Structure 1
Amino acid sequence: MSAHLSDIAIIIDDERIPCHKTILAATSPFFEKCLFVEKHVGDELNLETSKQPFLAALKFMYTGEVEFDNIDEDRLIDVFLLSQSLQIKPLVYLIEHRLNGIEISTKNVGKIYAALSANNSTLLNKCWQFIEHNSESVIADADSFSKFSYDLILEIVKRDTFFAAEIDIFKALVEWQMNNDNADLTESLLTL
């Protein structure tokens, strides 16, 4: 991953990361389309992502290796989400396999659900089992609950298998709404 003979720089948070178009395109249909089909002109490409997940994905694109021991759970999920959006299927598969082995907790269940909502039914079922068996703990962890996606909140509320005191659910939803100004639960909750 040296800058030698690089022909494009990926810009993340105003930092230039030298890359090679051919390697990016060969390992990512996203980059292939962007760089060769849509014929991106120029030697820079802005990418809306965080630097560390991109560097982990970039290392995989260049070497075919992932250093799982150096990636914490949160960052692993971020690399997984980025790999999905960049369409790096071998990396998605490797991380998905790794995620299947992690322990679900109130801290990670929302992020894992968001990352896998369309792809991994085994891990999604594992998330739902955790949520249903730990309903009271899930809503009691206000910090984690407030980071859940809008879709996950709606799914939780719709489920007949989520058991907690109604007042606690209400308080958790109010807290979630206060921390998520861009989403409005009111309309959705009225339809339930």
Structure 2
Amino acid sequence: LEAMQQQYEDLLTKNLSESDVEEVKALLEHAYANRQTTQVELIDELKADAAQKAAENSRMKTLIEDLQQQVKSGSGATPVTNGKTIQQQIAEFDVMKKSLMRDLQNRCERVVELEISLDETREQYNNVLRSSNNRAQQKKMAFLERNLEQLTQVQRQLVEQNSALKKEVAIAERKLIARNERIQSLESLLQDSQEKMAAANHKFEVQLASVK
């Protein structure tokens, strides 16, 4: 793109035919259009990441509800199995939380890359525009300016979405902490209940043996 831009600027300073200038301009416009396509693909990828995070949050919610139901319906006959299940699910929450944070970091890095790319595109376009004093040529390149404005709007929306996603992740993390604390509390209550039930069973067996 930079080489093509330089070629166009060189043509503007030479006494060449209009067709030669128009040919290079067409190539330059095509290069700018390709740049825009690449950036739109980046935006689609970020949206896909956001959708994946929504699915992970939904999975977390379902997993929490299942765990709470297991704790409520737990019995003294299967303390070890229930204990392992709870620990495994708590560990899975931690893995999912770390994955969520990694994805957010990757998305932030992509936003920065897109901002840099937009700045470079804007600067290159302005350089070409400044190099041409011909109003007719500037008019023919008007669609590039519209493309640049669209990219700027997309970049602004992407930054806003990223900010909102950061808030969502912070809220999700706080909820995870609260849910993990609740799970640990329920696990403790379950263990205490199982111990009491075991003691009661033992006492009953002793009393039954003494009666016999």
TM bin, normalised by shorter chain, reads under 0.3
Higher strand share: 1
Larger Rg over CA atoms: 2
> What is the TM-score with the length of structure 2 in the denominator?
0.25
Q: Which has the higher contact order (CA 8 A, sep 6+)?
A: 2
Larger helix proportion, structure 1 or 2? 2
